[in-house]
Structure 1
Amino acid sequence: MTPPPGTETIAGMASATAGERPGPAERGERAVRAATSAARRLGLRPGEPRVLHDVFNVLVHLDPEPVVVRVPSLTFATAAEQAERQRRELDVVRWLAGQGAPVVRPSPLVPPEPVESEGRSLTFWEYVEERDPVRDVPAEEWETRFAEQTGWTAPLHALLARYPGPLPTLSPLVPGARAALDELARRPGDLTPDDLDRAEREYAALEALLPELPVRFPGTRPQPLHGDAPAYNVLRTAGGHLFADFEDVTRGPVEWDLAGCGPRGVEAYLRAGGTPVDSRLLDTMERARLFQAVAALAYAPLMPELAGLLEPLVRQWRDRPPLG
């Protein structure tokens, strides 16, 4: 699965109330309102907050403060459920930063914990100036760029393997996709009954597979992972690259983080000293990523433009053999 350049991947699904359909301007206004309200309670002074990014989360820069607030935009989770995931993320990123890893750090200007505002759970991060963003890269250079960034994932995995805290196993899939599948059963959109049946069978297959990964794929050693395609969730700055968006941090095979990176990406990962890759397991994880994209269609009524972003991935899902 190759996410559209310049967007977050499907695992980064982040809160609008089901049934509402705010447009981009209204989503941004809501996010700015929630971010500035929480910021002022914490003693920050946002002068001219501005939206940096709006796909699955809205990122609000509290200009002139060097702080970016990540505001969930699309989710069926409660603020308490969001906060549980965010605490894992903050713990892992703080640990990585302490190890010298190139990561976007939690803001040192506020306590490193989720903050509830207007029914959403927000996190606060250091503002970094991005150089050479992917939206400015010619399309013919995307493959080369993401292959290079996949290579950068190898040392990140080596550090993550030493993380001492507990993490769930591939939680973006199970139970992460369950609420979305339930919503699709009520509002399937363009999915056919056969599509919905297949998605349910694939969820059941994953539910059975995940506890048995080392048995089904001998030699696999699940470890802490970024969880959301780290080769895409990386910023290039004047001081080097920084990994971001660990909100789906989880345990699993490295093949989960490599799904969608392509042969050149895997080659770059191995050249950089990455863990050996099981091609059969990589194929399974790529199909699981496509399943995740189908589940994400549940959010399209809340963000109509999402359906167009996901369409190429849904086509790939239909063309490949089912998980099972």
Structure 2
Amino acid sequence: MLTADELAERTTRAVASAAAAGRDLGLEVSRPRVLYDVFSVIVHLEPSPVVVRVPTVLPPSYSVAPEAQTAQQRSELAVAGWLADRGHPVVPPSPLVPREPVRREGFSMTFWELVDEVADDAPDMLRRIGQIAQLHAALRDYEGDGLGFWTPFGTYIPEGLAELAHMPELLDPADLRRAQREWAVLSPVLTSRAVFQSTFPGAGIQAIHGDAPYANMIRTPDGELWSDFELVTLGAVESDLAMVGPEGVAAYNVAASRLGLRPVDERVLRVTEAAGRLAMVAALAMAPNLPLLVDGLRPMVEQWRATPEVTEV
């Protein structure tokens, strides 16, 4: 596990790299300020109206093949930029620099427009879930250039489980064997578009947010903006609705009906929720680089243990 001093040193290096990259791109940077620091260090390059996302906690493949991270970041910028260009409520890439990830000193980073965030301690989640239908309606027209098929599931889950095989202190071997069995059941439909579509012919595939969009919205004086498209991918819309519960599904279906979208397919939802729980288990593999995950993920791992094992899709 990284120590507190090592985590602080990593943050310092990420901030310095973001500031230097911003200056190289012609931005005025005199007071770089950390806004957030968990999986990524989010840096405001004051006084420029630019925010830099510097991912610091990554799946193993990104270290071995950094071009995979660059490709995913290009997709993130492309989709968010495409939505912004068409007037959809999204945090846009910064217009002051090219829409390209920048690699510097071991970090790969993206540049975003600073927005005026308003504190929102009690967001209306049902309304937000209804707004997801608007996002899906918008993304139906995105042609998906460069997007992989359920890239987060196909990357994070098998890699995380493989790493956890060497970390019995983080996940009991019996739990690991169950997780591996579940992934063997789920992976055929989550890693092959052809298999998914033959198994769920009415579901359809499109660009989706990929990471609980209802929890990744920023409130501003002009309304809420979708943000954090780091896991954008091709998949079924149910993946963006995992764990919202019956009320959430009902709210989505009402909004979807108004927009001419299909209702939630309960079979697909069960599969994506099972994959979401498994992704939380696999995320324990990143705990050595982010120790707070050990306690943060414990309730989710316990919830997964309490659910029946997935034996079929």
TM-score, length-normalised on structure 1? Answer: 0.87
Secondary structure, aligned partner of 1:293: helix
Distance 1:21 1:206, change over 3 A: farther
Give the structure 1 partner of residue 172 of structure 2: 192
**Offset, 1:216:** 2.4
Deviations 1:13-50 (A, max 9, x none): xxxxxx64455533432221121111111111222111
Pick from 3, 11, 26 the counterpart of residue 43 of structure 1.
26
Give the structure 2 partner of residue 14 of structure 1: none
Deviations 1:77-104 (A, max 9, x none): 1332211100111111111112211111
Which protein has the bigger helix share?
A: 2
| Alignment-mate amino acid for residue 73 of structure 2 | Q
Pick from 153, 160, 164 the counterpart of residue 180 of structure 1.
160
Give the structure 2 partner of residue 204 of structure 1: 184
1:94 has 2:81 as partner: yes
Contact 1:22 1:302 in 2 (8 A): no
**Offset, 1:262:** 1.8
Give the structure 2 partner of residue 148 of structure 1: 127
Contact 1:227 1:249 in 2 (8 A): yes
Matches within 5 A, 1:273-284: 273=256, 274-284=261-271
Give the structure 2 partner of residue 83 of structure 1: 70
Give the structure 2 partner of residue 168 of structure 1: 148
Q: Distance in 1 between matches of 2:177 and 2:28?
A: 51
Contact 2:89 2:224 in 1 (8 A): yes
Contact 1:147 1:266 in 2 (8 A): no
Computed over aligned residues only, the root mean square deviation of the Cα atoms, in angstroms, reads 1.7
| Alignment-mate amino acid for residue 59 of structure 1 | I
- Gap regions ≥5 residues in structure 1: 1-18
Q: Distance in 1 between matches of 2:33 and 2:168?
A: 34
Give the structure 2 partner of residue 59 of structure 1: 42
- Gap regions ≥5 residues in structure 2: none
Give the structure 2 partner of residue 265 of structure 1: 248
Deviations 1:84-126 (A, max 9, x none): 1001111111111122111111101111100001111100000
Q: Distance in 2 between matches of 1:27 and 1:318?
A: 34
Secondary structure, aligned partner of 1:301: helix
Aligned length: 298
| Alignment-mate amino acid for residue 116 of structure 1 | R
Q: Distance in 1 between matches of 2:285 and 2:43?
A: 25
1:110 has 2:97 as partner: yes
Deviations 1:212-268 (A, max 9, x none): 223323411111101111111110101111111111111111110000222222222
* Identical counterparts, % of pairs: 48
1:227 has 2:210 as partner: yes
Contact 2:53 2:109 in 1 (8 A): yes
Deviations 1:255-303 (A, max 9, x none): 1000022222222212222530012221221111010000000011111
Secondary structure, aligned partner of 2:131: helix
Contact 1:288 1:323 in 2 (8 A): no
Secondary structure, aligned partner of 2:156: coil
Contact 2:144 2:206 in 1 (8 A): no
| Alignment-mate amino acid for residue 265 of structure 1 | G
